[in-house]
Amino acid sequence: MSKELEGIVVNNSTDSELAWFARKGNLYALTILALISIGSAMALGVDTRWIYLLVYLWFGFAYGVLLQYGRFCMASAVRDLFAVGVPRMAVGVLIAVALFSLSAAVVKVIGVSTYFPSPIGWHGLIGGAVFGFGMVFAGGCASGSLYKCGEGNIGSMLVILSISFSQVFYVTQGGWLNKLVPAAWTASALSKHMPASLSVTDGWFDQFMAGYIWDLKSTTMAKILGFDGVTSGAFIGDALFCAILPSLLILILLYVLYYRKGYLRRRKVGKPTVTEHLHGIWSMLTASRNTAIAGLGLGIFAGLHMWVIGELRNHYGIFNFGELLAKMGHTAGLSIQNTVFDPGYWYITTQEAQWGGWVLHKLGMHDMNNIFYGLENGLPNPLFNAPGWMSIGIILGAASMALMRREFKWKIPSLETAVFAVGGGALMGLGARIGLGCNIGAFFAAVTNGDPSGWVFLAGMVVGAYLAVKVFSRWLDWRASRENFGI
Amino acid sequence: MAVKFNKVADGDYSLDVTGYVCPHPQMYTKKVLDKIEQGEVLTLLFDNPSSGESIMAMCESEGDDVFERNNTGGVFQWKIRKG
């Protein structure tokens, strides 16, 4: 057996004698890469405009590689903080936020930013809290669950399925759910004079959108602080004040509450100076090398992704992939505005809602006369769903990384894990729709683009996760006492 | 599959949380480490890679020593000495 630098002993001596490309895990990973490459080449051979969709796929692959490499999960960021006092992921997320805010600012200055700020309101707090609660039980956030699918985690696949199908229910269901809608929302929705085919006064989500969300204001930190120039707005207003400074403050708080004591004890420091504390903060930032590298990488790739999509939109003269699909002769499933879901950057949950929606639509269980599918996101064939391929890319990228590190293992969930996965996933789906996004769309993409609504969602996530950890801990204690192992 | 916690010998314990996903492994490990005495050893078995990061960080912070780490086909076996 050979001892590698990190102290992981690989118990597979015959395998380690082979060249790197002949080892089983690496072979599988190379096969995945080869298949995606061949598929991409074939698609481009049919029509070069598929490049727009392939960009999503390949950036998804990059995200997947980085997420698995850094074991990057925003659920862990809040959950492990409260449950076991570990700030590793919270630190990693803040590194990614700082980096993406800079790369996003560059993209803004170039003039091809694809980001639009989200409305600010109570829905952000409530949606965030529901999402945060759900993700603790689901075992991962939206991006985390996707990458864990790539590790062979069938429980995480259940989470994705649950997120997918539960959202269809939330965005299409009327009937008895209509009774829960405040009258003011119904009236406001009516006043928007939407096409009758969308039936906006039937459906909880339609009235939530047309009667509440559309009346809210959205803004950017640059606007709030009065930075009117493109460059000063992007770098100072948005990146510095909305992302970097808040992240620094939270990092200091994390250091004080969760890292300082252990660090000073290990360094045997009695009365620490400011310099000692600064070293401590640096130690906290670099404590998990993989996480920090993943954070840096994700921040850079997320910005690159926005830039490439922005340039492609300019190149093809479109605002939305739906227009390109129409030009390519694929009109089935487009919204009435000829749009599909095409965020232009890293996003999760809406494309999963489209997967579930497409399946149930084909089974005749719902139609497109609602805002979510009919007006905004469409129900394209999953083969033509660009951000859908991004999610698949995440799974494949994570699988490749896991295979190379010999960490891929099919994990069949216990009944408890399966129930938590489905229940947690359903809550995540609900929280994502109320909050208009998940940990990526409603938090990560927002705060890094100067959108303060992202911090509102995070606040909700923190509250929800905190409560969930308390409940989870009680559950574990109960199980431990039942099984009598005296822990 | 149940979580298996056993006392193997004096000062030697084993915790098997294979099949469990976040946050079970790290939360069970924390509970066990809080209960055993300084100098005692816990052999931990788990197969959820991301839990490993949390457990590693937790041990470092609390002064517990992860002195041996093995990976056999995706199943991690770690030995931790309580600090």
Residue of B nearest to A468 (CA): B23
d(CA A54, CA A40): 7
* pLDDT digit string, tens, across residues A3-42: 333 444 444 444 556 777 668 899 999 999 999 999 999 9
Q: What mean pLDDT do residues A300-304 have?
A: 95
Cβ-defined contact of B23 to A485 (cutoff 8 Å) = no
d(CA A64, CA B42): 33
d(CA B55, CA B50): 9
What share of chain A in percent tops pLDDT 90? 85
Residues of A in contact with B21 (CB under 8 A): 139-140, 148, 153, 155-156, 411, 413, 417
**Distance from first CA to last CA of chain A, Å, rounded?**
34
d(CA A175, CA A173): 7
Strand partners, A430: none
Residue A266 phi, psi dihedral angles, 5° rounding: -65, -35
* Res. A315: pLDDT tops 90: yes
Q: Does A315 touch chain B (CB under 8 A)?
A: no
What does pLDDT average to over chain A?
Answer: 92
- What is the interface pTM, i.e. ipTM, of the complex? 0.92
Residues of A in contact with B58 (CB under 8 A): 84-86
Q: Checking DSSP bridges between strand B75-81 and strand B65-72, what pairing results, if any?
A: antiparallel
d(CA A65, CA A61): 6
Nearest to A379 by CA among A336, A425, A345, A344: A336
The pTM of the full predicted model, rounded to 2 decimals, is 0.93
d(CA A146, CA A141): 8
CB atoms within 10 A of CB A253: 12
CB atoms within 10 A of CB A482: 9
Q: Which amino acid is at A114?
A: T
- Contact, B65 vs B41, CB < 8 A? no
* pLDDT digit string, tens, across residues A230-249: 999 999 999 999 999 999 99
pLDDT-based confidence at A185, cuts 50/70/90? very high
Total CB pairs under 8 A between chain A and B: 136
Cis peptide before A380 (omega within 30 of 0): no
Task: Write the CB contacts of A72 (distance below 8 Å, at least 6 apart in sequence).
Answer: A66, A89, A92, A93, A96, A143, A144, A147, A291, A294, A295, A298
Q: Which amino acid is at A23?
A: R
Q: Does A479 touch chain B (CB under 8 A)?
A: yes
